[in-house]
């Protein structure tokens, strides 16, 4: 499958097993899309702490083209999931893959008893989440050196 003959239906989302080949590839994708452009890297200790998070991958054939993490907020509430590290491979952006991953995550959250998804959106991506039913809560703040807004969706 090439990008030009790819359809939305060809994109499959699934939960990745921590430390599997696909999950390790997803770290490379997160680095390429989210960290390298800001001149940042991951710390091994932070990546190890993600063992209890839900790692979701989007695949075009067997190529990993998107990633998204869900983190439980058990210390705060059993109802809330934090969505983080949402990234689509540059060549595959604007083809509905981000939307498909968010919708897959919401289905997973629903099936697992969560009621709210909470996230920190980069300011320039706020319209993407708004289209998916998230709303801004509170004021702008800096994270990884760039403006962010907290966004929430009641499932």
Ligand X SMILES: CC(C)(COP(=O)(O)OP(=O)(O)OC[C@H]1O[C@@H](n2cnc3c(N)ncnc32)[C@H](O)[C@@H]1OP(=O)(O)O)[C@@H](O)C(=O)NCCC(=O)NCCS
Cα–Cα distance for residue pair 33/99, rounded to 1 Å: 17
Binding site for ligand X (CB under 6 A): 33-34, 86-88, 93-99, 121-122, 124-125, 127-128, 131
39/127 with CB nearer ligand X: 127
131 touches 95 (CB < 8 A): no
Q: What residue number has its CB nearest to ligand X? A: 98
19/147 with CB nearer ligand X: 147
Cα–Cα distance for residue pair 16/54, rounded to 1 Å: 8
Closest CB 101 distance from ligand X, rounded Å = 8
121 touches 149 (CB < 8 A): yes
Q: Are strands 54-60 and 116-122 parallel, antiparallel or unpaired?
A: unpaired
Closest CB 146 distance from ligand X, rounded Å = 9
72/93 with CB nearer ligand X: 93
Q: Which residues contact residue 123 at a Cβ distance below 8 angstroms, ignoring those fewer than 6 apart? A: 140, 146, 147, 148, 149
How many C-beta neighbours within 10 Å does residue 1 have?
Answer: 11
Closest CB 94 distance from ligand X, rounded Å = 5
Closest CB 56 distance from ligand X, rounded Å = 12
63/78 with CB nearer ligand X: 63
């Amino acid at each position: 499958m090439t990008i030009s003959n790819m359809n939305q239906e060809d994109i499959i989302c699934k939960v990745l097993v921590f430390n599997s080949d696909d999950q390790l590839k997803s770290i490379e994708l997160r680095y390429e899309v989210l960290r390298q452009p800001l001149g940042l890297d991951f710390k091994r200790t932070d990546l190890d702490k993600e063992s209890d998070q839900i790692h979701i991958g989007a695949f075009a054939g067997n190529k990993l083209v998107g990633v998204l993490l869900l983190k439980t907020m058990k210390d705060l509430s059993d109802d809330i999931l934090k969505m983080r590290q949402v990234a689509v491979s540059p060549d595959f952006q604007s083809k509905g893959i981000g939307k498909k991953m968010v919708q897959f995550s919401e289905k997973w959250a629903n099936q697992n008893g969560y009621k709210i998804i909470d996230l920190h959106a980069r300011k320039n991506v706020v319209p993407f989440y708004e289209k998916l039913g998230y709303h801004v809560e509170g004021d702008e703040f800096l994270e990884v050196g760039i403006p962010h807004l907290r966004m929430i969706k009641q499932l």
